[in-house]
Every structure is written in C-alpha cells, then in structure tokens.
Amino acid sequence: MREALQTVAEHIISNARLLRWRELKGGVSAQVIGLELELGDGSLRKIIIRRHGATDLARDPDIARHEFQLLGLLHSAGLAVPAPIFAEASSDLLGSPYIAIEFIESQGEVDRMAIPDFLGQLAAHLFAIHQAELPLTELSFLSQQADAVSAKLAARPAQLDASLSEGRIREALDSVWPLPQANRSVLLHGDYWPGNTLWRGGKLAAVIDWEDVAIGDPLADVGNARLEVLWAYGPEAMEEFTQHYRSLAKGTGFSQLPYWDLYAALRPASQLSRWGLEPSVERTMRERHLSFVDRALAELR
C-alpha cells in the first residue's frame, strides 16, 4: 500500500514524498486515508484520500470526478467543505477511483456544555447548503431524492424489521407516495448528521462525506438530521435543532415533515443491529427511534 500511496502523492503534487499514512475512522461507504507529505521545498502538507467503495461506484461509476466537481463549486460558494485537490477516475493505483481533499484540523467530541451553540451552527450550515446558489447545469449528474425514495419503497423485503416499525412506516409512506412536493428543490447533503461535521475552536469547520448528495425537498435532510440528533443528544436537542432550522427557513413549508421523518426512520431498518454498537447504546437508539416513529405517525392522524 505504501508504494501505491507514494505514487498517488506524486500524481497529486509533483516531487512530493510520502512520510507516513494511516487509515482514518469514520469511512463507511468509502475508505479514508490520511497522508503526510514532504513537498519539494521541504514544507509539510497533510491531505485526505477518499477511496470510493463498490456500492457508490455501482450507483455512479464516475463518482470521484463528480465529487471533485461538487466540492469545488461548494467551496467556491463559501460553504464549509474541504477544498478538493485531485480526482482519479481509474482503479489502477488503489483498486478503485479516489479523490484527494484538504486535511482539516478538528477536535473530538463536542463539549456537552457547548451543545446549544453546536445545534444552532448545525442548523445554520444545513440551511446554508439548502440556500446555495449553484449552477445546476453543471450538476446534472446528481440524482433526484424522490427517485431514491421510490426505489426504497419498491424494494420491500420479504421479512420486515418489526423491531424498527418497518411495516408501520412503509404503510404510511406507501399510502401517499409519490408525495406532492411542497418546497422548491434544493441541494441535499443526503446524510447530514453530527458525525459528518468537523469542529475546531467551537466552530463548524467543515461538512464532509458528500457521496449521498441529491436534489430534492429540504425536509429530506431535516428529517434525517432530526433522527440523528435525537439519537446522539436526546429529544430536547432534536427540538432545539428543528427550531433553529425553522427560524431560518421562513419560506419553507413543514407540513410534510412527518413523512420525511418516517423516511429517515426507514433507513436503519434491518441495518441497526449490524452497526456494531454497544448493547446499551443500541437499546437507547431503538427506544428513541420508536418514539420518533410514534410521534410522526400521530402527527399524520
């Protein structure tokens, strides 16, 4: 691997020498590798390599180039994302396409005392993504979120995950889908949650992992983030995050939010038990998931 990464380093930056590398935690659909390089002038530079996996490549064989293009547009628009450096579409060196992005120094867990401010920033950055004025003609490769929902609902498993209310969720969504879209289509991150953000000095430094990006109703991102914040910090934090977002999104209609909450709640069905969680953590997540589903269904009655 080291020899291949040295060649990668030279492709990215002429005369760069690989000092060290390590695989980073957090990559689920992609392998994430940190490189420390010595440049020709003797200076040091850290970069990140994201090597795309089979699932993402099956969906978009040109995902490395597309992610590079997207990050460039987002970075130019002033959004907090890592600057793209290089993209390689071939699998010759690392066995699959990859993208190189800037390394962003960040801290670990957010201090519990700072969570209220953290939630406000989390909501503000999501709103900024949804408000981004990007040349959509240059993003024609992006999928429509509504199509992803249709595909998910059509792929009904033979055995439903009753432990995560899959039958109840599907029944509610099947009864209304395709849902008439109430809001204008915007850029969606597709997997917006605290684990896909980097923080430094109490400020959100970057939103990362853009492989699920799509075009669609902003409530798709809001619903997903609500469930993730509930899992991580509890119901009061979820409500606080939601209120922060609503206070910014004055022109957004929220009447269909329960449906997007349900779609977010459908995603972990038959998957949660495979995430390798501590039993106590999984138990809490299941309890909070049930309350999330119950509340969404109650709001639709």
pLDDT above 60: residue 189: yes
pTM, two decimals, is: 0.94
The token duo for 252 is: 């957004």
Tens of pLDDT, residues 128-155? 999 999 987 889 999 999 999 999 999 9
Beta-sheet pairing, 44-52 with 30-38: antiparallel
Domains and CATH numbers, the chain: 2-102 (3.30.200.20), 112-299 (3.90.1200.10)
Q: Distance between CA 4 and CA 2 in Å, rounded?
A: 5
Beta-sheet pairing, 143-144 with 214-216: parallel
- For the chain, what's the residue count? 301
pLDDT, mean over the chain: 94
Taking only Cα atoms into account, the Rg of the chain, rounded to an integer number of angstroms, comes to 20
pLDDT above 70: residue 113: no
pLDDT the model gives residue 26: 58
pLDDT the model gives residue 28: 61
Q: Check residue 165 and report its DSSP letter.
A: T
Q: 107-116, 262-271, 281-290: which has the minimum mean pLDDT?
A: 107-116
Beta-sheet pairing, 44-52 with 186-188: unpaired
Q: Distance between CA 124 and CA 52 in Å, rounded?
A: 29
Q: 167-171, 179-183, 218-222: which has the minimum mean pLDDT?
A: 179-183
285-292 average pLDDT score: 99
In this structure, the dihedral spanned by the alpha carbons of residues 189, 173, 164 and 120, taken in order and rounded to 10 degrees, is 40
Q: What angle do CA 220, 226, 230 make, to 5 degrees?
A: 155
Tens of pLDDT, residues 40-73? 999 999 999 999 888 888 888 899 999 999 999 9
Q: Distance between CA 27 and CA 41 in Å, rounded?
A: 32
